[in-house]
């Protein structure tokens, strides 16, 4: 069970859109529509942002959206804001009642 | 509002056993959902450790299964993690969270507790 691959960092200016990729395999991301995304500010618990690839929990801004193509899931943040600066992690169901997280992406708002 | 809070030692010695507890408020763990543990070594990715459901179903990360015990105390609405035979590589921030079972996501998290394994 290897960690899903994410870019180490992504940056953008306020108001821009950025996309974070999350690449797995045909045994996890590519097979199951069970990808979730988490926003993590240092010193706090991660915040649940997206589930089942593209669904938003109540209370999460519609500036956050998720998608998937093949073995790669993506999180897009539109209208980037200073408060979006954080680490972001993807997670996928990996079969046999197990879960695997991504390597994490640091988002910087320029 | 569901809230989770980890508690336990911040420093443990190599070869010893780590015992952490997650206290839950705002939801009874015996009502439903899975309840899990996730950790993050310094500078590394999050790693799912395992999840428990009231009634006895427990799922484990295969790489940690042999060293992990997850249990519940419904009378105190909390669940626990025991990790045996500690090594320096087990140094991490440990989080408890709701999820990791049939919901396939983790919707509420604790703030995390840093555990350092060192003599």
DSSP assignment of B75-87, as one string? TTTEEEEEE-S--
For chain A, the maximum distance between any two Cα atoms, rounded to a whole number of angstroms, is 41
Given an 8 Å threshold on Cβ–Cβ distance, is A36 in contact with B62? Answer: no
Distance CA A23, CA A28 (A): 10
- Tokens read off for A67: 């998608």
Average pLDDT, 10 consecutive residues per value, chain A (110 residues):
94 97 97 97 94 97 98 98 97 94 97
Lowest-confidence segment of B62-66, B77-81, B89-93, B98-102 by average pLDDT: B98-102
Contacts of A68 (CB under 8 A, 6+ apart): A29, A33, A35, A53, A54, A74
B31: buried, middle or exposed (CB in 10 Å: 19+, 13-18, 0-12)?
Answer: exposed
Mean pLDDT of chain B: 95
- Give chain A positions within 8 Å (CB) of B63: 1
Given an 8 Å threshold on Cβ–Cβ distance, is A48 in contact with B101? Answer: no
- Give chain A positions within 8 Å (CB) of B38: 101
Mean pLDDT of B68-76: 96
User: So what's the pLDDT on residue A83?
Assistant: 96
Where does the pLDDT of residue B103 fall: very low under 50, low under 70, confident under 90, or very high at 90 and above?
confident
State whether residue B87 sits within 8 Å of chain A by CB: no
- Give chain A positions within 8 Å (CB) of B45: 3, 89, 101-104
User: So what's the pLDDT on residue A42?
Assistant: 87
Given an 8 Å threshold on Cβ–Cβ distance, is A43 in contact with B111? Answer: yes
């Amino acid at each position: 069970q290897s960690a899903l691959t994410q870019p180490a960092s992504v940056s953008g200016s306020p108001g821009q859109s950025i996309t974070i990729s999350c690449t797995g395999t045909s045994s996890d991301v590519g097979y199951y529509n069970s990808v979730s995304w988490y926003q993590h500010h240092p010193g706090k618990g991660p915040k649940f942002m997206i589930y089942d690839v593209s669904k938003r929990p109540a209370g999460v801004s519609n500036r956050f959206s998720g998608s998937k193509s093949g073995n790669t899931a993506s999180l897009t943040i539109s209208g980037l804001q200073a408060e979006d600066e954080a680490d972001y992690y993807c997670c996928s169901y990996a079969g046999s009642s197990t879960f695997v997280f991504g390597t994490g992406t640091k988002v910087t708002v320029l | 509002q569901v809230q989770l809070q980890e508690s336990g030692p911040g420093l443990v010695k190599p070869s010893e056993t780590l015992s952490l507890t997650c206290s839950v408020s705002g939801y009874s763990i015996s009502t439903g959902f899975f309840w899990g543990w996730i950790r993050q070594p310094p500078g590394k990715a999050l790693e799912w450790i395992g999840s428990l459901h009231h009634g006895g179903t427990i799922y484990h990360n295969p790489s940690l299964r042999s060293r992990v015990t997850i249990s519940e105390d419904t009378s105190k609405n909390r669940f626990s993690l025991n990790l045996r035979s500690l090594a320096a590589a087990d140094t991490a921030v440990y989080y408890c969270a709701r999820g990791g079972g049939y919901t396939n996501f983790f919707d509420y998290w604790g703030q995390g507790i840093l555990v350092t394994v060192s003599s």
